[in-house]
Amino acid sequence: MITLHHVAASRSFRTLWLLEELGLPYAVKHYKIRDGSLRDPAFLEISPAGRVPALEIDGKVIFESQAITQYLCESRSLAGLAPKQDEPERVEYLQWLAFAETQASIIASLNLQMVFLRPPAKPSVVVLKLEIARLAATLKPLEEVLDAQNWLLAGGFSAADTMLGFNLFAVQYFVDLSAFPNIRAYMEHMEERPAFKRARANDGDQEFYDKPFYAPEDYA
């Protein structure tokens, strides 16, 4: 049995979605950010940094979503969700996997400062504006690529889309996507995929965001 250790609406959704795209049977063990379950010694034995996703599969445990994505696509290569080593789009695929983590690190910083910190802690408005500008800058190359194609690779949907596509549902809490029509269309394409819908059904309710948009001016 494959077991995914998962927090609803977190980066582990990448793995949840990919498992559905691959058609693999799995079980989900749910955790919450704020109830201390990620710091439980039993979970730390599975994921030393106390983070999700962590995936129990093939007699091993893998943590870090990029490593999980690469392992799943390489061990289940017949699904065709990643270009092989000698295929033309291999480099682009690997770049998008890494790009997804670069973008996610900015989201994580904004989540910490604008969502999880509670009074009396108060973030710097200047820093928030800089971080949001950095996040918006990561959307520009994505918007350009999606002007010519529906997915990150010209050859079609791949696991790069499960890695980076997930980010955009968090990005919209910090950046107004009205200026990025290609990205909004891309998100609609993702939501139309049957595997995405099944993953959403197994995801659980997000407990991070309590309002639709977070503006730095609110922290002045």
Average pLDDT value over all residues in the chain: 95
- Tell whether 133 and 189 lie within a shared domain: yes
Count other Cβ atoms within 10 Å, centred on residue 97: 23
pLDDT (average), residues 3-25 = 97
- Tell whether 111 and 214 lie within a shared domain: yes
Which of 122, 129, 210 has its CA nearest to residue 175?
129
**What's the rounded Cα separation, in Å, for the pair 164 and 142?**
10
Supply the DSSP string of 32-82, one letter for each residue: -SSSSGGG-HHHHHHSTTS-S-EEEETTEEEESHHHHHHHHHHHTGGG--S
Read off the tokens for 2. 């494959």
Query: Is residue 84 a part of any domain in this protein?
Result: no
- Tell whether 75 and 101 lie within a shared domain: no
The pLDDT value given to residue 45: 94
**Structural domain of 65:** 2-79
Domain count, the chain: 2
Residue 143 pLDDT > 90: yes
- Tell whether 210 and 138 lie within a shared domain: yes
The pLDDT value given to residue 37: 92
Domain boundary among 79, 105, 138: 79
Judge contact between 12 and 4, C-beta under 8 A: yes
- Tell whether 35 and 70 lie within a shared domain: yes
Query: Is residue 161 a part of any domain in this protein?
Result: yes
The pLDDT value given to residue 34: 84
pLDDT (average), residues 203-207 = 91
| CATH number, residue 37 | 3.40.30.10
- Tell whether 128 and 183 lie within a shared domain: yes
- Tell whether 49 and 113 lie within a shared domain: no
Write out pLDDT tens, residues 68-124. 999 999 999 878 999 999 999 999 999 999 999 999 999 999 999 999 988 778 899
- Tell whether 95 and 191 lie within a shared domain: yes
N-to-C CA span, the chain: 50
Q: Over pLDDT 90: what percentage of the chain?
A: 91
The pLDDT value given to residue 197: 98
Residue 23 pLDDT > 90: yes
- Tell whether 35 and 107 lie within a shared domain: no
| CATH number, residue 215 | 1.20.1050.10
How confident is residue 172, by pLDDT bands cut at 50, 70 and 90? very high
The pLDDT value given to residue 188: 98
- Tell whether 74 and 98 lie within a shared domain: no
Query: Is residue 85 a part of any domain in this protein?
Result: no
